[in-house]
Amino acid sequence: MRLYSTPQSANNLEVSLLAIIETIAAVSFSLWLAISYLGTWDYVLVGACVAPLLLLRTESSCNLALHTFLKYESLAILNYSQSVGTKKILAFFLYFCTLLFVPLLCRLFAMIMGIIKRPIETITRIPCNWIQICVCTDLFHPPELVPGIQLNKNKISFDILDFVTYCKFVFDISFRRVKYNFDLIIDPKTSLIRRLISLVIIFLEPYSFFCWFLVTLLLFYSGPIIYRFSLKSTSIVWAPLLWIIPKATPKTKMITRLKVINKSSWGRLISVVSSAVLVLFVFKILIFTGINELNERFSDSSILSKLSMFIEPHSIPIWQVASAANSLLALGLFWYASSNLIHIETGEIKESDDNSTIDYTLRTASVIRTSLSLYTISCLFYIVLYKVSLFDIPPLGDKFFPWQS
């Protein structure tokens, strides 16, 4: 596990500790807004609905968006280089103003083309893209105008360190401009009109630097960061996607799947999260069985009482059992992979042997985990929908389906 992410590590789906902390913070902030500040779950429902649409991208659609944007960029630069005088200033102004708008159009165009050409691949990439944002991307990953542009040598994006460097560079230019005009003011040969102009420039220069800093921060940094945190906050509903390991697909070699499940940061993260889920489930059972002290603390806590739709202290919902079963299966699969890797390393099992039993076990476990994850997500989504109360729908409670009597 890495401490922080880079464009390469995020592209390789390497887990980042800072990304996990950010996701926990985003979920906590979202819950605080819903419970204490806004008092409504509407924005949670909207975010949960919109999130999949923002994650409809594949490698081919990213390449198409990047190619389209770079083509526009080359045309804009060519137009700027061929312009003179006021046209040159106008060309630069238009390019700067469209630098945020055009990439959005490129991404939208590429997403639509991806859905039309490869609908199944585009939809099945949603878990991988969500996981990449939530546990592989953090503040150290530069905001991207177009996905994949950081991996392109002709990139236009802002790293944190790059942003500080740019600020220092512009500050130095502003300082030299102030110093130059100050020297003109104290020079006895300078005319009165020129001194007045220099005085105005010195007065306006701090405001000019602040405006540049604010525009750059809002356009190229704050927007993408808010976008990421918004997606991270949807973990309230989409967190079970974590149990769908994107690298351990049936098309991957058996030994690679075993290593992903047991030795990768993915496997360790899932085992830790699964252990935490099981501990919480045991704690939930203790509340349900009627331990008076726990029941009193739950009733006295205003925050926990407002989360009762997720906790369900007086019943054990099927979706919570599904989450616990998914976690238990993940831990069992972790130890199963560890055992088989030991046998492979000691030579008891060879890669050339017929390992259909192991392959069948991994495939079956993958199908079960995916099914349990999708069921849990649908239940969490339904609970938020019920909490918003836009429709007259029955509560889920401890039923398998809400429409059951």
pLDDT of residue 42: 74
Of 213-222, 243-252, 367-376, highest mean pLDDT: 367-376
C-alpha 73/C-alpha 79 separation (Å) is 10
391 CB burial (10 A radius; 0-12, 13-18, 19+): exposed
Overall average pLDDT of the 341-354 stretch: 70
Which of 16-25, 209-218, 301-310, 353-362 has the least mean pLDDT? 301-310
What are the tens digits of pLDDT across the range 166-195? 566 667 777 777 788 788 788 888 787 877
pLDDT at residue 158 greater than cutoff 50: no
C-alpha 20/C-alpha 242 separation (Å) is 12
User: What are the C-alpha distances in Å from 188 to residues 181, 183, 199?
Assistant: 13, 10, 15
Amino acid at 103: P
Which two three-digit tokens encode residue 317? 């919902």
What are the tens digits of pLDDT across the range 299-346? 565 666 666 677 777 778 888 899 999 999 999 988 888 888 887 777
Which of 119-123, 197-201, 286-290 has the least mean pLDDT? 286-290
C-alpha 386/C-alpha 41 separation (Å) is 10
pLDDT of residue 157: 46
Residue spans per domain, the chain: 7-236, 244-388
pTM of the shown model: 0.71
C-alpha 112/C-alpha 146 separation (Å) is 15
Work out the pLDDT band at 220, boundaries 50, 70, 90: low
pLDDT of residue 298: 59
Greater confidence (262 vs 151) lies with 262
pLDDT of residue 278: 92
| Per-residue exposure over 84-105, b if at least 16 CB sit within 10 Å of its own CB, e if not | eeeeeeebeeebeeebeebbee
pLDDT at residue 161 greater than cutoff 60: no
Work out the pLDDT band at 58, boundaries 50, 70, 90: confident
**258: closest CA among 332, 336, 355?**
336
- Do 288 and 314 contact (CB within 8 A), yes or no? yes
Work out the pLDDT band at 360, boundaries 50, 70, 90: confident
Overall average pLDDT of the 207-228 stretch: 72
